[in-house]
Amino acid sequence: MIEMNLSKWLLLLAVLFVLSACGVAEEEPAAPKENGESTESMVLEPVEEETIEVVQDPVITKPEILYELNPANWALQPIDDANPKAVLLTIDDAPDKYAFEMAKTLKALNAPAIFFVNGHFIDTDEEKANLKAIVEMGFTIGNHTQTHANLKNSTEEQQREEIIKVNETVEAIIGEKPIFFRAPFGVNTDFSRNLVHEEGMLLMNWTYGYDWEKQYMDATNLTDIMVNTEYLTNGANLLMHDRKWTAEALTGIVEGLRAKGYDLIDPQTIKGVK
């Protein structure tokens, strides 16, 4: 009897084991995401596109060409409808002792000018800084040779050195070569003329100037002659120098010219070689 019961229990256990093995497995739950979020509960936020601002280089507008140089008398003559009653201011032997202050004076007067530089005045860091400051104030730079040599008394190789060295030095300091050339004492040679043209510079002399004469080494006398000379005519090319008395006379000269109805020519509006 006991053996029969034991056989029945064993048979029952075997049936239960088979039934459990054949049962349907439960669906595996989805793996939980971080912070306990499930795949069904996550909402994907739209990705915001990054806006890239495109910065365009500023458009540099070159001044309109209004005047051209007359090589017969070194005066400036108007092109088309430009005002004929205008003169050009130029400062030679810069930047020696007073050019920087002269530039500040002209800047305050809104008076454009060409500063013709000598190479031996842009050797030191201070002199180079002065030249750069003059350019940053908006003034145009011209080439006046390296040592202020008389080109007529120089060999062709010396003339080349006098002219090219200044161009190279100026370009190294301000990033561009001079666009005007004036020979010391107004003395040019065939070789210097050709070289200046090859370098893309406009050669010019002047109409009048007085500040190297003893009687005009005084601000009052210099102002009077610069404004009232008989040589003051339309397009006159006015020569001045980096001198103490010229620096002192500068305001009076500019105001005197304007009182007579003369405009001051922006050198950037003068037709160049190219």
148 band by pLDDT with thresholds 50, 70 and 90: very high
pLDDT for 206-261, tens place per residue? 999 999 999 999 999 999 999 999 999 999 999 999 999 999 999 999 999 999 99
Whether the pLDDT of residue 36 is over 70: the answer is no
| Higher pLDDT pick, 63 / 167 | 167
In a domain? residue 221 = yes
79: in domain:
yes
Q: Rounded to an integer, what distance in angstroms lies between the CA atom of residue 41 and that of residue 71?
A: 88
Average pLDDT, the chain: 86
pLDDT at position 8, please? Answer: 54
pTM of the model: 0.78
Please state the rounded mean pLDDT for residues 38-55: 48
Which pLDDT tens digit goes with each residue over 100-137? 999 999 999 999 999 999 999 999 999 999 999 999 99
The pLDDT of residue 29 is 42
Residue 109 lies in a domain: yes
More confident site: 30 or 146: 146
Q: Does the residue 224 lie in any domain?
A: yes
CA–CA separation, 210 and 259 (whole Å): 20
Residue 186 lies in a domain: yes
Contacts of residue 115, Cβ cutoff 8 Å, sequence gap at least 6: 90, 91, 94, 95, 99, 103, 134, 139, 140, 141, 142
Domain that holds residue 192: 73-269
Distance CA 208, CA 87 (A): 11
Query: Would you state the structure tokens that stand for residue 153, as one six-digit string?
Result: 């008394």
Residue 56 has a pLDDT of: 57
What CATH number does residue 181 fall under? Answer: 3.20.20.370
Residue 157 lies in a domain: yes
Q: Which residues contact 79 (CB under 8 A, 6 or more apart)?
A: 65, 66, 67, 68, 271
Summarize the confidence of residues 179-197 as an average pLDDT. Answer: 98
Total structural domains in the chain? Answer: 1
Grade residue 62 by pLDDT with cuts at 50, 70 and 90. confident
Q: 204: which 2 tokens?
A: 């010019």
Residue 209 belongs to a domain: yes
Express each pLDDT in 70-87 by its tens digit.
999 999 999 999 999 999
Tens-place pLDDT, residues 16-31: 544 454 444 444 444 4
Top pLDDT among 63 and 173 is at 173
140 belongs to a structural domain: yes
Phi, psi of 165 (to 5 degrees): -60, -40
| DSSP per position, 95-123 | TSSSHHHHHHHHHHTT---EEEE-GGGS-
